[in-house]
Chains A and B, each alone.
Chain A
Amino acid sequence: MLAIDPEKKLSFTRRISDGDLVIIYERHDSMKAVRVCDGSVLQNRFGVFKHSDWIGKPFGTKVFSNKGGFIYLLAPTPELWTLVLSHRTQILYIADISFVIMYLEIVPGCVVLESGTGSGSLTTSLARAVAPKGHVYTFDFHEQRAASARGDLEKTGLSSLVTVGVRDIQGEGFPDEFAGMVDSVFLDLPQPWLAIPSADIRTFEILLRAYEVREGTMEGCKGDDGVSIGALPRKRRQRSSEGSNVQEFQRSSIAMARPCAEAKGHTGYLTFARLKCS
């Protein structure tokens, strides 16, 4: 997912090759992660797609099925991963994730602790933030979940940046070896206040309202200069004399935006604090 080797620079200026993880984009609300495997096929409602057709193409390419249906092949990012990962728990979404990274002041080289790992949605973004020299130590008390998270990190190519441990952090605390070593800690636990003495405590709720945009036609009155929104065909425009009560209407198309009817109304409260200065 990340170009950790500075020699390689951009991971996605590379062409798609056998074994790569790609995000299959059907629509904005319909995506999945697929590992490219020469000889295998992807079958969906648009038809059958041969992986061999994808190899050698750049990321971001539109590819066609046997029936002429198409999908896009995107380079994986933590944001896309959050949308396609398999949910083993409730996950954090982009609004919370981005705010957590910013508020925990995570920069390349940081050492970050996280508990619980859950489905690894935040973990993926934490790994991106600390790369290439930092490290994320994430803990979950659920053995199987930790193993699945390790598998996912292997898939996304981030396993060198993240260590997944099995431990009940709320009960046992973080391992002693981390004392004094860590830049930031993220806790998603039922009783986080058992954790640390801290200062500057602030709590937030963050939401993201999405807007949908479509082309709309507006009935516009030609007589009035003020109503011309969008590109009106000027040629056909007529000047209406003052006092004329003949109103001419024409159709003009503009982009119109409105909030999406459904949204994630609440994802959680985020509380931030700073370790007291000794």
Chain B
Amino acid sequence: MAGTNNQIDSVQNPRMTWEGCSVLLDINDGDRLVFARLSAAAKLKIGNKNCSLQPLIGCSFGSVFRVETGIGGPYLSRFNPSSEGNNDKENNGFQSKEESRDNRALVDDNKAQSLTGEDIDAMRREGATGDEIVEALIANSATFEKKTLFSQEKYRIKKQKKYAPKVLLRRPLARSICEAYFKKYPARIGFLRVDTLSLLLSMANVFANSEVLVVDMVGGLLTGAVAERMGGMGHVCSTYAGNAPYPMEIVRIFNFGIDICKSILRSSLDSLSSSKNGTSKQIGEHDDSLSVEGGLKDQTSPVCPEEICDESENGKSNILLEDSLSPVIRSCKSVKAGEKAPEEVVKLWKENGFSSLIVAAPDLDPWSLVKDLLPLLASSATFAIYHQFLQPLATCMHNLQLEKMAIGLQISEPWLREYQVLPSRTHPCMQMSAFGGYILSGTKICNV
């Protein structure tokens, strides 16, 4: 934990939640992923129950909560994981036992369960916990004993999800935000998978005190991920072609403190590429200031605060929760991420060049961007271009070779496969993402 406070303002421990902090709620092991901002008023609907998020304030990230029913209605209660841990260990032993059961006697006639919906409601009224209901369901299942231990476990998990849903409190970091979006709204982040994002950051050599140029048309995920890696030291410049900056609403999901917010700047490609004489520059600036406001409008639009569920149609307002900011946070927010780059910083970039470039612009042609962007880099700077299609990158790479602008050029396709690991049952997971896009990486060379 040492040293992490420079990520957040020193008042806050980044491993504990606070009022106004942004969190990722993982409901039932990834079945539902919800970004929320914690406040006394914030509520989350789980199943058909509305629960206040108040109990989550001041807890460690990584805590697990269960929905319990009390006198005042349903509420989220901290769940002690140690008992579950013991269960896990016992369960892990079952594979070693001789397994003689199989599914020959199972008939799918919907008669196995003798408890009715009314019975369960009655139990609830009497104050039974979710776990007790699950046990009752198991006790009243005619087929449970005949199932293999593996399938008994599956049955138990299925019932637990319904009757004793759990909520895992997660830190919103580049990793978790990318994974959540990739799962729920992949199109909004240009189908940028977490391993692809991590490769972009490595290939572009992003670290504290670098000056990173990004073209982020993936909602701010890339800008946020770069800023997280730099910890508020150095700058990330989000540049854009034309007049309107690209939206970066995802940046606000990260719990960035003042330093990191300050390190995120915007500048139009025109004003970055304009030569040092005045006229063309002023035009660029003018466009810039106009467009920043246009871009921010869409961030500050009123959003329905408490509730976000993936079933909803309008995902944008669901993802962003901005209503109930505590005074603490509001004061931080006076420094907004993505301010227009000050004159002297732009001057520095023009003199020294950027140390890295990352492009994630799914709808733009890489070559037409890169031919304008590469001259803005320092010599020996590294870059990484993400695209979903191979051909535009191949053309871009070929042109870079012809123009002798870069070396060490390589197109890579990341491939990620998750495994189920269990004794005698280890194998790749059934469902996987089959495509993570392509990356063109390289090093800019000196053109003198």
Q: Enumerate chain A interface residues (CB-CB to B < 8 A).
A: 2-4, 6, 9-10, 12-13, 25, 28, 57-62, 72, 74-75, 77-79, 94-95, 97-99, 101-103, 105, 107-111, 125, 128-129, 131-135, 180-183, 197, 199, 201-211, 213-215, 254-257, 259, 269, 271, 274-277
Contact = CB atoms under 8 A, between A and B. Distances in A.
A13 B378 contact: yes
Residue with the highest number of chain A CB atoms closer than 10 Å, among B63, B173, B194, B395: B395
B412 A208 contact: yes
Contacts of B85: 197, 199, 276
Closest 7 CB pairs of A and B: A108-B231, A60-B380, A60-B379, A255-B398, A102-B198, A59-B380, A98-B202
11 contacts: A9-B211, A58-B379, A72-B445, A99-B198, A129-B229, A131-B209, A180-B1, A183-B2, A207-B416, A210-B413, A214-B398
A274 B448 CA distance: 50
B104 interface: no
Nearest to B206: A128
Contacts of A102: 174-175, 194-195, 197-198, 201
Contact of A269 (B60, B171, B409, B419): B419
Interface string B428-448: 100000000010000111101
B233 interface: yes
Contacts of A183: 1-4
Contacts of A10: 209-211, 352-353, 355, 378
Residue with the highest number of chain B CB atoms closer than 10 Å, among A102, A182, A207: A102
A109 B5 contact: yes
Interface of B: 1-7, 60-64, 81-82, 85, 171, 173-175, 194-195, 197-199, 201-203, 205, 207-211, 228-234, 352-353, 355, 378-382, 390-391, 393-395, 397-399, 401, 407-421, 428, 438, 443-446, 448
A130 to B, nearest CB: 8
Nearest to B89: A197
Given A129-B207, A132-B233, A109 B416 contact: no
A108 B230 contact: yes
A60 B413 contact: no
Contact of A108 (B199, B233, B378): B233
Nearest to B447: A60
A180 B342 CA distance: 41
A94 B209 contact: no
B176 to A, nearest CB: 8
Contact of B2 (A4, A99, A111, A205): A111
B231 A109 contact: yes
Contacts of A197: 85
A81 to B, nearest CB: 11
A204 B415 CA distance: 10
A206 B205 contact: no
Contacts of B415: 206-209
Residue with the highest number of chain B CB atoms closer than 10 Å, among A25, A135, A271: A25
